[in-house]
Structure 1
Amino acid sequence: MKRKTIEGLLLTGALLFATVGCGSEQPAEKTKIRLSEVIRSVFYAPQYVALEKGFFKEQGLEVELTTAWGGDKVMTAVLSNQADVGLVGAETTVFVNQQGATEPVVNFAQLTQRDGTFLVARQKIDNFNWSMTKGKSIIGSRNGSMPQMVSEFVQRKNGVNPKVDNTIIQNIAFDNQTAAFASGTGDFYQAFEPAASILEQQGKGHPVISLGKDSGKLPYTVFLAKDSFIKANPNTVQKFTNAIHKAQNWVQNATPEEIAEVMKPYFPQVEKDILVSVADRYKKADIWAQDPIIDKEEWENMHEVMRQAGELKTPGPYDKLVNTTFAEKAKQQVK
């Protein structure tokens, strides 16, 4: 009896130790991803949804988000290993390839599938036609930027010769454009949100057309990384893409009010009703990609936009600069 009692005590102790050990076990360490976004913009709502709703954390990722304030700065951060992943226009990888980079920067997941700007007029125009811009001035973006290339592409498509039939104002800093238009500069303004909605609310401007609808689909904003990073960290890239696709699904099914509520922490200076207006306008314009796959047709459309702008010296090989493996798997697995 004594021996059995001792053995029983030892067994009980072992079980208690195992139970306590399991209860005090620390959660698995999360993989850290340094993400650099080109600007802070409501245009990138699905990214903020993935962060705020915990979709990255569900995948075991800890995402450190920084804002570079410039496509060249994002690319510099990625190339110099200061960032693991960049969020920027896919055209930047074409430019890097044109410059003879020794290692390609690869686009692996798409976030936005159309240009996110709206042409804002001073007066409300129910039946806008691009011929109305002839002899007028438009506050635009710098040469070589995707917004400017898309604007010129859409104008040509609609029978307007940009900078000949009209004047493009390009000497105003991005941060000052909305104030400049509100104070009387330009007849039209190619505006991102929330500028378009703010001007509309103030009665100082009226969005008349979505440039993204007229330009067609293209990989306007994508997640990219150095080829070596992707090859060394395929599981991490897959988890990142899974989280993005879950956010894309959430956004497609959410109301503008729900999207605005999630975005609010990232735009504390913007009133919620403006965020609701932005989300509604972007959903109606089909701005956000429904899945992260960058297809070849979109890639070629981007090339045509760049070609017409005189910015395409050497086409970016789709098979070299685009990897759809992770996006295709995410689309199959994430519902």
Structure 2
Amino acid sequence: MFKLLKTAGPLLLSLLLIVPLAACGKEEVQTVRVAEVTRSIFYAPQYVALAKGFFKEEGLKVDLKTTWGGDKTMTALLSNGADVALVGSETSIYVYARGSSDPVINFAQLTQTDGTFLVSREKIDNFTWDQLKGKTFLGQRKGGMPQMAGEFVLKKHGIDPKSDLKLIQNVDFANVPSAFASGTGDFVQLFEPTASIFEKEGKGYIVASFGAESGHVPYTTFMAKQSFMKKNKEAVDKFTRAIYKAQKWVDSHSAKETAETIKPFFKDTDPKLIETVISRYKEQGSFATDPILDEKEWKNLQNIMGEAGELPKEVSHDILVNTEIAKKAIK
């Protein structure tokens, strides 16, 4: 018996040493539940972060679900159905204005321009904005960032959305393309890839970009409730670092490489079309190259909301935006 213990002793000692070391070396993986407002090529850096394993590198598992609409996305966040929301920054202002005791904080910007395009039913070789006067314009949902940016651009070009054209904005977000395809409106405001698909199929023609016209704005950001951010500071830091890695990757790689990377998230979309859309967004600087939401962009957001009559109250940048996390991520 003693001889057996003497022989097995070194082996047992080795196992006793290895097991604690292995346990110490294994970092716990935290799951972060993300609700995205829609599934869109516009959010390419997010899908790159997932496909390239940037979240995994940070010790995070991201559970992504599409909630289809700003209201539904914020409901998921506020009811603890999600930890992080990817949605327009205006929603955080709406929540704050209602007197929330647990405000929603913007901590990482993903897109920095509007992502919609003006599509005409008829082909126009030399488009000018005054050609919308007297026409029927099928816009986006009232109070949403696409519609507010759309009205801002119209006013910028001397067009009163209420009197110079027939403005339709009571069609649900998901049904706008089908409404236009069925004959509603002379012009429509569409996201990609629908705008390019319509052009390819001869259903409409892209004549202008609302993103190029409205300037830099925190169009889509990652946000979370203040309580979640306080309890999960490290996870939010890791999440932001992963997003920044993806932003740098998209910025330094071609539209084709990015399209190939995010293709699994758009299985029913022609890869060539994905490339075209990414190229268009890159050309107009829609993808933020870092996650910092600066004060100038925040002011532009509130200017656009104010012009549309949708700003419930002005909120200073430091109340609903945390830039320290993003600044830390890029160091």
The alignment partner of 1:209 has SS state of strand
SS of the aligned residue for 1:240 comes to helix
- Matched residue type, 1:125: I
Structure 1 residue 92 displacement after superposition: 0.5
Helix, strand or coil: the match of 1:107?
A: strand
Which letter does structure 1 place at the counterpart of 2:288? A
Q: Distance in 2 between matches of 1:330 and 1:230?
A: 15
**Which residue of structure 2 lines up, in the alignment, with residue 28 of structure 1?**
27
Per-residue deviation, 1:18: 3.9
Give 1:120's aligned amino acid: V
Shift of 1:203: 2.1
Q: Does 1:72 align with 2:75?
A: no
Are 2:311 and 1:317 aligned? no
Q: Give runs of aligned pairs for residues 163-178 of structure 1, distance below 5 A.
A: 163-178=162-177
Name the residue aligned to 2:244: 245
Structure 1 residue aligned with 2:212:
213
Give the distance between the partners of 2:315 and 2:82, measured in 1 at CA: 23
Amino acid at match of 1:249: K
Give me the identity figure in percent.
Answer: 52
Give, in whole Å, the separation in 1 of the partners of 2:177 and 2:11.
Answer: 72
Which secondary structure state, in structure 1, belongs to the residue aligned with residue 62 of structure 2? strand
> Deviations along 1:202-244, whole A, 9 cap, x unmatched?
1222211110111111111000111111111111100000000
Could you tell me how far apart the structure 1 residues matched to 2:273 and 2:173 are? 20
- Partners of 1:260 and 1:237 lie apart in 2 by 27
Amino acid at match of 1:155: L
TM-score (normalised: structure 1):
0.92
**Match for residue 141 of structure 1?**
140
- Measured after TM superposition, the shift of residue 145 of structure 1 is 1.1
Q: Given that residues 112 and 216 in structure 2 are in contact (C-alpha distance below 8 angstroms), is that contact kept between their aligned partners in structure 1?
A: yes
Structure 2 equivalent of residue 199 of structure 1: 198
Where in structure 2 are the equivalents of 1:77-96 lying within 5 Å? Answer: 77-96=76-95
What is the alpha-carbon distance in structure 1 between the residues aligned to residue 178 and residue 11 of structure 2?
74
Query: Against the structure 1 CA distance between its residues 234 and 17, is the aligned structure 2 distance closer, same or farther, given a 3 Å change threshold?
Result: closer
In structure 1, what is the Cα distance between the partners aligned to 2:155 and 2:46?
A: 33
Cα distance in 1, alignment partners of residues 25 and 245 from structure 2:
27
Per-residue CA shift, 1:116-172, capped at 9, x if unaligned?
A: 000011344344221111111111112111111111100111111112111122243
Partner residue in 2 for 1:301: 300
CA distance in 2 between counterparts of 1:20 and 1:105 reads: 43
Moved more, 17-26 or 281-290: 17-26
Segments of structure 1 that go 5 or more residues without pairing to the other structure are none
Alignment partner, residue 52 of structure 1: 51
**Partner residue, 1:265:** 264
**Number of residue pairs matched?**
330
* Alignment-mate amino acid for residue 218 of structure 1: V
Mapped to 2, the partners of 1:196 and 1:79 lie a distance apart of 32
Residue type at the aligned position of 2:89: A
TM-superposed deviation, 1:7: 7.1
Amino acid of the residue matched to residue 114 of structure 1? T
Partner of 2:224: 225
Q: Which residue of structure 1 aligns with residue 159 of structure 2?
A: 160
Of 166-175 and 146-155, more deviation after overlay is shown by 166-175
C-alpha distance in structure 2 between counterparts of 1:98 and 1:286, whole Å: 31
Q: Distance in 2 between matches of 1:70 and 1:216?
A: 23
Note the C-alpha offset of 1:262: 1.9
Deviations 1:274-328 (A, max 9, x none): 1111111111111111100000000000000011111112112211100001100
3-state SS in 1 of match to 2:108: strand
- Matches of 2:74 and 2:50, distance apart in 1: 22
Segment of structure 1 superposing worse, 180-189 or 48-57: 180-189
SS at structure 2 position matched to 1:301: helix
Measured in 2, the distance between the counterparts of 1:163 and 1:10 equals 87
AA aligned to 2:267 is P
Letter of the 1:142 partner, please give it: R
SS of alignment partner, residue 141 of structure 2:
coil
> How far 1:189 moved relative to its partner?
1.1
Which segment drifts farther, 177-186 or 194-203? Answer: 177-186
Counterparts of 1:185 and 1:72 in 2: how far apart (Å)? 25
For 1:164, what is the secondary structure of its paired residue? coil
TM-score when scaled to structure 2? 0.93
State the AA in 1 paired with 2:52: K
Question: CA, structure 1 residues 50+190, in 2 after alignment: closer, same or farther (shift >3 Å)?
Answer: same
Change (3 A) 1:76 1:171: closer
Following the alignment from structure 2 to structure 1, what is the Cα–Cα distance between the partners of residues 330 and 179? 43
Q: Which runs of 5+ in 2 are unaligned?
A: none
Question: Residue 290 in 1 paired to residue 289 in 2?
Answer: yes
